[in-house]
């Protein structure tokens, strides 16, 4: 059976544990050790929305494993501009590649693509929907740089529109993490998602202040308040720049505390924080490569 | 429910509002005012060639008032009529052959709905020109429909989302 990677909800805790464990083996390859594991395989990347790190880390992962990458190129110059449906594009590209990485502005695009595809679909973000490879690399970062058991984590920023935090919170609920949600009132996590998390047995509390919890947590997961997700620019202006992680704020942090951010950041974390022992967001972006290696190898049936 | 029972209903005994049918399906105990939505959800439109009778706001001892729909010469399948439970959870289905009720059952919400409802999320892939049929998983209590594509949950105003 084809193994698509669409949503964290398709994974059990055991499956996630296996992915994280396998990723350890790919780390040396991600750091440059030669491999020909996916030699002769072709990955197609279809990005209908701009992305740099996700696309580049998939390309790097594929190439460092000895595989090839083909690219749809800019959407405005492709058959999509001629009005081709995603369903048709997927069926055509599926004849050229062994797996397809898809980012699309519409929620549910990857799920639909999987219905039409004869090769595995890896969802690299569908609108405000899912972004499972980001979640897996976040979990891997937590495992490597902090701990997944008895984790106390605070998620801060845009918890309403931010797709990464929804997937991450869902996955963390499988690890029984103690989660604090920090956001301005208008960017709180939607009730329907909180309900799902509670159904999973998650322990969740909410606050609007980082200061409330900074001394008690293992991980602070910071997200950007994304301008492009706001229907109303005036609403964006009200909350832009509301949270800022400064060296001053970190004085109360525990010794083994870490800060994560899916990047790109704007001004949520001041650059002075980069030099502190707490910053892990650049390591986090590196871990995207070995995690995606694992997922590519899985999707192509090699591990 | 067949005609006999309706005419035995106190308020109706002087005159039969809707005549009995020989073959087909009678959907009874429809929530008052929902008969036209029931036809819509069953895909029965003005272009149908079937003989369809609709009675609305019929006095009912149990329900106060109810709607009834009769469709002649067509026996609806159980999975077809289960959709009806979305808008008329108390509806009963009677299959009629030769003026006799040969089968009678209550509607029950299906676990999954395909092509009946439109997802509420305008940015969902099912609301595009892509060749995709809307699909929902159904939670029964309370009634909640979750889009399998975008995860959006419809819990209110379900009739407004009928295709």
Q: Which of residues 192-231 of A touch B (CB under 8 A)?
A: 192
pLDDT at B7: 40
Predicted pLDDT of residue A230:
80
Rounded Cα distance between A142 and A136, Å, is: 10
Ranges under pLDDT 70 in chain B? 1-18
Return the closest-CA partner of residue A192 out of B155, B126, B159, B141: B155
Domains of chain B, first to last: 3-106 (3.30.70.140), 112-161 (2.30.30.20)
Instruction: Indicate yes or no: CB of B131 within 8 angstroms of CB of A87.
Output: yes
Do the domains A133-285 and A8-130+288-299 match in fold? Answer: yes
Position A1 scores a pLDDT of 66
Q: Are residues B25 and B74 in contact, defined by beta-carbon separation less than 8 angstroms?
A: yes
Taking CB atoms and an 8 Å limit, are A107 and B121 in contact across chains?
Answer: yes
In this prediction, residue B10 carries a pLDDT of 44
Nearest to B147 among A108, A126, A127 (CB): A108
Long-range contacts, B73-76 (Cβ 8 Å, 24+): B73/B23, B73/B24, B74/B24, B74/B25, B74/B50, B75/B23, B75/B24, B75/B25, B76/B25, B76/B27, B76/B42
Q: Chain B: nearest CA to A24, how far in angstroms?
A: 32
Cβ atoms of A184 and A209 within 8 Å: the answer is no
Which architecture does CATH list for A8-130+288-299? Answer: 3-Layer(aba) Sandwich (3.40)
Q: Which value does ipTM take for this structure?
A: 0.89
pLDDT tens by residue, A53-110: 899 999 999 999 999 999 987 777 777 777 899 999 999 999 999 999 999 999 999 9
The CATH class that applies to domain A133-285 reads alpha beta
Whether the full predicted model's pTM is greater than 0.90, yes or no, is no
- Best mutation target among A107, A128, A193, A230 (most B Cβ atoms within 10 Å) is A107
* Per-residue confidence (pLDDT) for residue B27, from 0 to 100: 95
CA distance B123 to chain A (A): 5
Task: Count CB atoms within 10 A of the CB of residue A124.
Answer: 27
Residue of chain B minimizing CA distance to A111: B149
Residue with structure tokens 């329907």? A192
Q: Where are the domains of chain A?
A: 8-130+288-299, 133-285
According to the model, what pLDDT value does residue B17 have? 62
Q: How far apart are CA A112 and CA B9, in angstroms?
A: 51
Q: Do B131 and A85 touch (CB under 8 A)?
A: yes
Q: Return the residue of A nearest to B134 by Cα.
A: A112
Q: What is the pLDDT along chain A (303 residues), one digit of tens a residue?
A: 678 999 999 999 999 999 999 999 999 999 999 999 999 999 999 999 888 889 999 999 999 999 999 998 777 777 777 789 999 999 999 999 999 999 999 999 999 999 999 999 999 999 888 999 999 999 999 999 999 999 999 999 999 888 789 899 999 999 999 999 999 998 999 888 898 898 888 899 999 999 999 999 999 999 988 787 787 888 888 888 889 999 999 999 999 999 999 998 988 999 999 999 999 999 999 999 999 999 999 999 998
Q: What is the pLDDT of residue B9?
A: 46
Instruction: Indicate yes or no: CB of A111 within 8 angstroms of CB of B123.
Output: no
CA nearest A200: which of A161, A230, A223, A168? Answer: A168
């Amino acid at each position: 059976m084809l193994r698509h990677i669409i949503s964290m909800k398709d994974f059990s805790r055991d499956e996630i544990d296996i992915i994280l464990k396998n990723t350890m083996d790919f780390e040396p390859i991600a750091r440059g050790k030669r491999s020909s594991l996916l030699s002769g395989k072709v990955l197609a990347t279809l990005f209908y929305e701009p992305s740099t790190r996700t696309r580049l880390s998939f390309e790097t992962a594929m190439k460092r494993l000895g595989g090839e990458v083909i690219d749809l190129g800019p959407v405005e110059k492709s058959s999509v501009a001629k009005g081709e449906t995603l369903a048709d594009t997927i069926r055509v590209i599926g004849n050229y590649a062994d797996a397809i990485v898809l980012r699309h502005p519409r929620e549910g695009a990857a799920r639909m693509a999987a219905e039409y595809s004869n090769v595995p679909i890896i969802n690299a973000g569908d609108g405000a929907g899912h972004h499972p490879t980001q979640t897996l690399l976040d979990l891997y970062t937590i495992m490597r740089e902090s701990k997944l058991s008895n984790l106390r984590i605070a998620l801060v920023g845009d918890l309403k529109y931010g797709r990464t935090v929804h997937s991450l919170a869902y996955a963390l609920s499988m690890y029984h993490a103690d989660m604090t949600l920090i956001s301005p009132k208008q960017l709180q996590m939607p009730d329907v998602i909180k309900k799902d998390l509670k159904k999973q047995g998650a322990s969740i509390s909410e606050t609007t202040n980082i200061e409330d919890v900074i001394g008690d947590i293992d991980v602070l997961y910071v997200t950007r308040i994304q301008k492009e997700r706001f229907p109303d620019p005036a609403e964006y202006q009200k909350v832009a720049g509301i949270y800022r992680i400064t060296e001053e704020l970190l004085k109360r942090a525990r010794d083994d505390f870490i800060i994560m951010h899916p990047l790109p950041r704007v001004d949520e974390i001041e650059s002075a924080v980069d030099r502190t022992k707490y910053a892990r967001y650049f390591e986090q972006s590196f871990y995207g490569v070995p995690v995606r290696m694992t997922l590519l190898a899985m999707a192509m049936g090699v591990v | 429910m067949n005609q006999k029972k309706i005419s035995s209903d106190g308020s109706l005994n002087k005159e039969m509002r809707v005549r009995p049918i020989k073959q087909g399906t009678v959907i009874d105990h429809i929530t008052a005012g929902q008969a036209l939505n029931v036809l819509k959800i069953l895909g029965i439109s003005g272009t149908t060639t079937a003989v369809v009778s609709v009675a609305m706001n019929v006095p009912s001892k149990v329900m106060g008032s109810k709607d009834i729909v009769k469709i002649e010469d067509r026996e609806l399948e159980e999975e077809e009529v289960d959709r009806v439970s979305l808008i008329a959870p108390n509806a009963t289905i009677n299959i009629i052959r030769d003026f006799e009720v040969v089968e009678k059952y209550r509607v029950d919400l299906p676990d999954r709905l395909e092509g009946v409802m439109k997802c509420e999320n305008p940015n969902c892939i099912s609301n595009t020109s892509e060749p995709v049929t809307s699909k929902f998983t159904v939670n029964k209590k309370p009634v909640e429909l979750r889009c399998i594509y975008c995860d959006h949950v419809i819990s209110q105003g379900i009739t407004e989302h009928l295709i």
